[in-house]
Amino acid sequence: MDMPKPGPEHALLARLVGDYEGDEELQPSPWGEGGPARGRGSYRSVTDGMAITQDYEEEKDGAIVFKGHGVFSIDPENGDVLWWWFDSMGFPPDAPARGRWEGDMLTLHKTTPRGDGRYVYRLHTNGYEFSIENRFPGQDDFCLFMRGDYQRLR
């Protein structure tokens, strides 16, 4: 049997590979008071290009306050981008967020018992913007949780 090879959807994800740093703004939420932060992310191609791993840390007031690890892959059935997320909050990833690229923008959605999340990556010349919007149980609309603008370091 021939091993599968990365396809066009994998190539879109591979545009994230690199190291980034940037300013963030968090809104008050059940997880904290919000405010400015600094984020750092490192994305690596793994498993012969079939997945991308992401390591992230957030710094506030000179201390690392949050860490996360993500794994991006492609659903071979329909080409959806899948994103599993593990972080220092400790919630298990019930199922991956799912989404698709539209040009330079990747939008992913996820539903958990704690509510719905919408995650948007917008690639730009030297990095990307990222935002998270949440809709908690009982809310009708999504609310911005955080927004960051990250510059490629390498």
Domain count, the chain: 1
pLDDT tens-place string over residues 12-66: 999 999 999 999 999 998 778 899 999 999 999 999 999 999 999 999 999 999 9
What is the CATH classification number for the domain harbouring 142?
A: 2.40.128.20
Instruction: Kindly indicate the confidence band of residue 72, based on its pLDDT and cuts at 50, 70 and 90.
Output: very high
Domain containing 127: what range? 8-152
Cα distance between residue 102 and residue 17, in whole Å = 18
Does residue 1 lie within any of the structural domains?
A: no
- Is 118 inside any structural domain? yes
Residue 2, pLDDT score: 86
CB atoms within 10 A of CB 57: 15
Domain annotation covers residue 85 = yes
Give per-residue pLDDT as tens, 89-114: 988 878 999 999 999 999 999 998 88
Is 0.85 surpassed by the pTM of this model?
Answer: yes
| Cα gap 31→114, rounded to integer Å | 12
Nearest CA among 67, 51, 47 for reference residue 59: 67
In whole angstroms, what is the distance from residue 7 CA to residue 50 CA? 9
Task: Name the percent of the chain lying above pLDDT 70.
Answer: 100
Q: Is residue 3 part of a domain?
A: no
Q: What pLDDT is stored for residue 12 in this prediction?
A: 95
Q: Which tokens sit at 112? A: 């958990």
Q: Is 138 helix (H, G, I), strand (E, B) or coil?
A: coil
* Mean pLDDT calculated for residue range 110-125: 94
